Structure 1
């Protein structure tokens, strides 16, 4: 038995959960926050048999593709207060995709 942790964008969370449920996988979804962009994420926990792990990973890959977004790089508040005017610089960031961890389950009970 394995547990798959998949951290996906909150924009993709419901879609990935629906696809996994349609393929008979039970999913627990937690609302989490990412570190770099401080944007919402969904952390999905999927318990499955060892032989189904690749199927789970492939469903996640197929559902939450990477995409790019242009955002403005805003200076920290203390920098903005020093200079009366500042320019926000656009930058391209990559969104989507998933970070996946697979771990062994020592014991599983459904009560």
Structure 2
């Protein structure tokens, strides 16, 4: 048995959740915040049999799209002077961790 942690952009979380539950995967959904852009994410926790992991990963990949976003950044010139300028960063997609489960019980 495996435990999958999938961190997905909040814009993709509804599609990921719908696709997983449509295929009868049980998911726990947590609202999380990323450290880099301080943007909203959703972390899914999914427990499944080893042989179903590729299907879960495929569903997440199909429903989590990378895209670019313009965010403000700033540069300091010294003596208290700074300027803000926009930069383009990649957002979306998914970060996934798959771990072994030593024991599973459901009451």
TM-score normalised by L of structure 1: 0.87
**Displacement, 1:82?**
2.5
Moved more, 19-28 or 7-16: 7-16
Question: Does 2:101 align with 1:105?
Answer: yes
Alignment deviations for residues 13-60 of structure 1 (CA, whole Å, 9 cap, x no partner) = 122111100011010011111111011111100100000000000000
Unaligned runs of 5+ in 1: none
Query: Counterpart of 2:19?
Result: 19
Aligned residues: 107
Question: What's 2:52 paired with?
Answer: 52
Kindly indicate whether residue 40 of structure 2 is the aligned counterpart of residue 40 of structure 1: yes
**Higher strand residue share:** 2
TM-score under structure 2 normalisation?
A: 0.90
Aligned to 2:88: 92
Question: Partner of 2:69 in structure 1?
Answer: 69
Hey, what's the Cα distance between the residues in 2 that align with 1:75 and 1:20?
43
CA distance in 2, matches of 1:10, 1:74: 25
Unaligned runs of 5+ residues in structure 2 are none
CA distance in structure 1 between the partners assigned to 2:42 and 2:59 by the alignment: 16
Return the alpha-carbon distance in structure 2 between the equivalents of residues 60 and 98 of structure 1.
7
State yes or no: 1:82 paired with 2:83: no
Task: Show structure 1 runs of 4+ deviating over 6 A.
Answer: none
